[in-house]
Structure 1
């Protein structure tokens, strides 16, 4: 009886593992999502911070922020956004710093007329680190392999919405008044 139960449990475990996406499947889907989303129509910002504004999808909240760092939360999921005001949207600095890392599962760049973007994925102990960047702005989170595509889509949506001009205009107006 115990032996039969043991065999059933092993069989169920193998079925569950086999049902999850493989890294190569996730990477293929990730490339498809990124190719279309980096060039998507930009969402209008719905959050104005001191140094820039951005769009956050429903359910996403800002936990804290300063000039260069924003901590975003969606339920129990944390996102760390870093914005370097000295780098423009075509900067390759963050991408180039990732190129030298050895434990990379996926690193791909995406270019448009006015941006240089990338997606980076690497394994952690039980999850994956996902980082999406456009020029001098990047956002990072930890996620499971089966959520990589969804998370990447949301992160690209957030990054493509960032508007630094609106806050520059506000500062300019405030100093001339």
Structure 2
């Protein structure tokens, strides 16, 4: 009897422990805003890529997979990111941001930042696939987007804003 009770207690404790260790969207969204704001307000990373008419920083573990006019497809271990830029929009433009808000998907995060005549934003929407979110970070006419599992939302927000913050259109 004691052995069954002990085994049951261990199983319940293990389940609670695993559930507590998992990332929640509430925790991740707070961290995502913090990470994106830090990247937006900080010094930009030094650009190490030049393609089409844009220069930008690309972390070592991310590669360029494809490029089309104004769109660059990036890849991190089979996880795609899309970098989009509109050379006609300045860093204070809100055009791309306003287009993002025109969605039927629920907005989980809608955060804007301004500094030194730059308009930045982080928008996270829930998509139909369970526990998956679209994360978009942008400054003016440049934005980067990916789909993230809950546990990757804040890290992706940081990466996206670092890439966008470092970009300059020629």
Moved over 4 A (4+): 4-14
**Paired residue total:** 165
Q: Partner of 2:150 in structure 1? A: 145
Q: CA deviation at 1:114?
A: 2.6
Cα contact 2:33–2:154 (8 A) shared by 1: no
Label 1:149 to 1:80 Cα distance change in 2 as closer, same or farther (>3 A). same
Q: Partner of 1:56 in structure 2? A: 58
1:1-177 equivalences in 2 (<5 Å): 12-101=14-103, 102-124=105-127, 125-165=130-170
Q: Which runs of 5+ in 1 are unaligned?
A: 166-177
- Greater relative CO, 1 or 2 (CA 8 Å, sep 6+): 2
Q: Which has the higher strand share?
A: 2
TM-score by length of 2: 0.84
Q: CA deviation at 1:14?
A: 4.5
Residues in 1 aligned to 2:134 and 2:82: alpha-carbon distance in whole angstroms:
11
Alignment root-mean-square deviation, CA: 2.4
Q: CA deviation at 1:46?
A: 0.8
Q: CA deviation at 1:12?
A: 4.3
TM-score by length of 1: 0.81
Q: CA deviation at 1:97?
A: 2.3
Residues in 2 aligned to 1:121 and 1:61: alpha-carbon distance in whole angstroms:
23
